[in-house]
Amino acid sequence: MLAEIGFDIMASLAYGAVSLALMVLGVWLVDLLTPGKLVDLIWKERRVVPVVHVGSAMLAVALIIRQAILSSADQLVPGLISTAVYGVMGLILMAVAFWVIDLITPGKLGELLVAEGFHPAVWVTAVSQISVGLIMAAAIS
């Protein structure tokens, strides 16, 4: 029984590490796609639009990770690998969705999302990111 509990704890930590890595990768990707440094825009300049943009990306990644973990193989290593693969696939699809929205809307989307003041375009990107996360999660199950 103790061995099983120990294994479950280690498995939880391993899934947590993969999840954290995917979340960090997601924030890095959002930072890469938007002009300026998100750290400065959010924590120094206290801009709301980048917060909504990053927060929706993190929620989308979390939705994908959750479903990947729930649907993962009974064995730890294949489960970790499938979680990582589905997470990266979700990040790629989120980036593609961002680029598509940028192509079909006027102006540069990244610049609108970091401009001073509140731009309603953030809701389009937020909903698209969460939608991609939900679709990916549904595809995993």
Q: What is the DSSP letter of 120?
A: T
Helix locations, 42-75, DSSP H: 48-70
> What pLDDT sits at residue 121?
87
Query: What's the pLDDT tens digit per position in 2-60?
Result: 888 999 899 999 999 999 999 999 999 989 988 889 899 999 999 999 999 999 999 99
The Cα 17–Cα 1 span in angstroms is 24
How many C-beta atoms surround the C-beta of residue 3 within 10 A?
7
75 SS3 class: coil
- What's the pTM value of the predicted model, to 2 decimals? 0.88
In percent, how much of the chain has pLDDT > 90?
60
The pair of three-digit structure tokens given for residue 19, joined into one six-digit string: 């999840």
User: Which pLDDT score is estimated for 9?
Assistant: 94
DSSP state letter for 46:
-
Distance of CA 54 to the CA centre of its chain: 8
Q: How confident is the model at residue 102 (pLDDT cuts 50, 70, 90)?
A: confident
